[in-house]
Chain A
């Protein structure tokens, strides 16, 4: 029999869930470390380890299975209460989790496994188990036994072939089921059939314990059997057939003294008769009543075993571009597609037999189509959404490790873990978040003595919070540490010429200077422990995701870092604008307002730049036709009037001069970068309702490049109140 199962796929699922299991173990262990020795916590850890062991064994990852077994043994001591878990134990177990994670990652990527590290850890665990290496080796043996079941049965099959040549033995088996055997779902017939697969079987029913008819309870088994089995099988193999019913029957297997040849035809006839009798007494009907011919069944069994598939599961290359989707979500999609198909066929009717009376119906149909399409879009987007918990979950460990190293006491609070984020965003926000958390631990939260001296509780609080706000996801990293030393930063910024000597900045503006490339590498302010990566990188990463980050900090009280991210990368709420002959899309989120402008409100500044005077502020004005070097007659190129769309990015505002505001609509972002290397000022393209392509303006990029080149000196910052 061949198994065309997609083992790669299943292996991948195994890795995914094992990583989850490791996370569960880690979280549990950290809880234990906090003194939370709840039996449920221990059970969770144990169960996770147990599942990993079982799965690893099944899928052929013996390194993991064996290692986890040792871990499980230690956990079992804790679970059963024979062991008081110590800090050292937890440390050891955490290390084991790390090792397993590394090993699994290696296996997933088909890389070599660090066997030495595993062996060393295993020895350490075995040592604390109290019985040295001995326990280890016996455990290993157990596992090996279980694991090698495949190969064993394969070897067994070969043995079978060999033994076929030997002469058979006639065994006598006395099988007396207890009254309740049928209630465990065990059917004597099944046992007979299995015995038959070992050789020729003769069955003799013993009816003496059958009660009088009135007292007969259908769920009870009153019969006993005397079985004659002519087989080359060993006693153990025969016993194995009765494995499941050992507790529910009396069994006697009598070893033959001499060997005989196979049974004759007459015997066989008797067997089938007997079997029919048995079936009459059986509470559950089975459709198959005739035992197959002995030789046939014997042959086919042997054959089956010999051709047993050798497909041992192998580790597969990592392909993390998959998402696990709940059946409910898929079903919802299917339902919607069904509705769409119905609507479509309804609409098709109008194409075939159109008359003006059906106009209203047509309108209804189109409304329906629109609704289903929107729902479909939302549902598909929903599939890409994953809870941020997968990202947050790494922090308890991180905080535990780092604060330990720094000699600080930190309590980590997590909230909003169920907030959902686009998968891509989620993956890319990981590193920046780690940076921010490390930064808080490093420079924010003070050592216990400093805190006590400042009149604060000695344990600092680090709070990670995620929530949705409008079309954005907000992630907050908040600490009650020392806050940012604004004077130091301002001095540094003045020193580097980033801020003029006369310029006065608000505290928030100063704080946000830590994201400036020129300042963020300053080790006193924001160099991250041992990584040498600045906050400017953090900001850039977040910006690449279409998000932004800002800091609010108060000296001695703490800092709050706020990251705002778009809900999804694939869809954008867009404002369509016409500019000459072209239609462009501006993200609605970036638009502050739109104003009508006259020529006299736009002033030319030296160097060809223009500014618009709005409520006391000067806003740089961008003409798309200038920037994109389009050459259309009907453009606003030489006009200073029209509509000015004021957009904001990083606190800076610019006005984009357009001819007309068109619709607002959600657009699907398509990348241009497949075909074009780099698109300054454009973040992609989309397909409009009429099938044409419209370009999407990259507002942050636009503002940035514009400010840094032409208008830097007249940046509205100066004028901002």
Chain B
């Protein structure tokens, strides 16, 4: 897909009135990702560690013959680590940029719901100052009287982040 096509599709997204989000739990908070980017949800399975990568990259798994990197979102967000339990799942998402598509699995505490949210109900994330990185946050919304943090998956798991992982230890706290 070339850039202009990608933009077109992107724009179409925004032009529709509502979008569906898959939400998942992470340290008591509910996060949402666009359902169109979700390739599947599967149970946690052992990963093969890749040497010299930051700790939030757990390694790679075999997903129907493809080698897919797995990212621990708790570690990514520098949240307290918990042992993986029966509800721990891997949400497999497709990350798109100008060059190519890439499939990545993110480990979360558990999958919650699928919501349809009106675009007008999505608020921009407030400024938290320098202390909190908001660039991964697409916006905030309320559903069933709960706040959902909508993630910008393409930015969260941008290509830079994974590649950066090998040259930049700063993210590896």
Contact residues of A with B, CB < 8 Å?
A: 582, 627-630, 670-672, 674-682, 685, 687, 691-695
Residue from A676, A679, A687 within 8 A of B62 (CB atoms)? A687
Chain A proximity of B150: nearest CB distance (Å)? 25
CB neighbours (8 Å) of B146 from chain A are none
Against A, the Cβ 8 Å flags (1 = close, 0 = not) of B74-109 are 000000000000000000000000001010100000
| A678: contacting residue among B47, B49, B67, B166, CB under 8 A | B166
Establish whether residues A677 and B163, one from each chain, have CB atoms under 8 Å apart when the complex forms.
Answer: yes
Could you tell me if B46 and A628 are in contact, using CB atoms closer than 8 angstroms?
no
Chain B interface size, under 10 / 10 to 19 / 20 to 34 / 35 or more: 20 to 34
A679 to B68, CA, bound (A): 15
Q: Enumerate chain A residues within 8 angstroms of B59, measured Cβ to Cβ.
A: 693
Q: Within 8 Å CB of B69, what residues of A?
A: 675-676
How far is B100's CA from A691's CA once the two chains are assembled, in angstroms?
A: 26
A348 shortest CB reach to chain B, Å: 20
**For B2, what are the chain A residues with a Cβ–Cβ distance below 8 Å?**
none
Judging by beta carbons under 8 Å apart, are A628 and B62 in contact?
A: no
Judge whether B49 and A582 touch: CB under 8 Å.
yes
Chain A nearest CB, measured from B27 CB (Å): 25
Asked if B60 and A685 sit within 8 Å, CB to CB, the answer is: yes
- Contact between B62 and A691, CB atoms less than 8 A apart: yes
Tell me, rounded to whole Å, the shortest Cβ–Cβ distance linking B115 to chain A. 30
Cβ of B16 < 8 Å from any Cβ of A? no
Residue of B nearest to A627 (CB): B51
Cα A44 to Cα B53 in complex, Å, equals 59
Residues in A with CB closer than 8 Å to B102 are 674-675
Please tell me if the beta carbons of B48 and A672 are within 8 angstroms of each other in the complex.
no
Q: Which residues from chain B contact A695 at a C-beta distance below 8 Å?
A: 48, 50-51
Task: Map CB proximity to A onto B36-66 as digits: 1 under 8 Å, 0 otherwise.
Answer: 0000000000111111110000011110011
A670-B67 Cα distance, complex, nearest whole Å: 7
Bound: A678/B162 CA distance, A: 11
Flag if A680 contacts B67 (CB, 8 Å).
no
- List residues of chain B with CB within 8 A of the CB of A680: 52
Q: Would you give the shortest CB distance from A36 to chain B, in whole angstroms?
A: 51
CB distance from B23 to the nearest CB of A (A): 26
A539 to B2, CA, bound (A): 36
Measuring CB to CB, which residues of chain B are less than 8 angstroms from any residue of chain A? 46-53, 59-62, 65-69, 100, 102, 104, 162-163, 165-167
- Complex Cα gap A582–B51 (Å): 11
A contacts with B: majority SS: loop
The interface residues of chain B lying within 8 Å CB-to-CB of A627 are: 51
**Do A676 and B163 touch (CB < 8 A)?**
yes
**Inter-chain contacts of B166 with A (CB < 8 A):** 676-678
Residues of A within 8 A of B66 (CB): 670
User: Distance in Å from the Cβ of A110 to the closest Cβ of chain B?
Assistant: 16
The interface centre, meaning the residue of B49, B100, B104, B162 with most chain A CB atoms within 10 A of its CB, is B49
- Partner of B50 from the list A670, A674, A676, A687 (CB cut-off 8 Å) is A676
Say yes or no: A685 contacts B48, CB within 8 Å. yes
Contact of B51 among A628, A671, A693 (CB under 8 A): A628
CA distance A628 to B165 in the complex (A): 15
CB-CB nearest in chain B for A688:
B62
**Does A693 lie within 8 Å of B52, measured CB to CB?**
no
For residue B104, which residues in chain A have a CB less than 8 angstroms away from its CB? 675
Instruction: Pick from A670, A671, A674, A676: contact of B53, CB below 8 A.
Output: A676
Which residues on the B side are within 8 Å of A675 (C-beta)?
A: 60, 67-69, 102, 104, 162
Q: How far is the CB of B15 from chain A (nearest CB, A)?
A: 32
| Residues of chain B lying within 8 A (CB to CB) of residue A628 | 51-52
Chain B residues, Cβ within 8 Å of A678? 166
Asked whether, in the complex, the Cβ of B48 is within 8 Å of the Cβ of A693, the reply is yes
Contacts of B46 in A (CB 8 A): 692
On whether the beta carbons of A672 and B50 are closer than 8 Å, the reply is yes
Q: Is the CB of B67 within 8 A of A681?
A: no
Residues of A within 8 A of B167 (CB): 677
CA distance A672 to B67 in the complex (A): 7
Q: Are A693 and B163 in contact (CB under 8 A)?
A: no
Say how far B145's CB is from chain A's closest CB, in angstroms. Answer: 39
Measured between alpha carbons, how far is A674 from B66 in the docked complex, in Å?
Answer: 11
A496 to B52 alpha-carbon distance, docked (Å): 35
Which residue, of B52, B59, B61, B163, has the highest number of chain A Cβ atoms within 10 A? B52
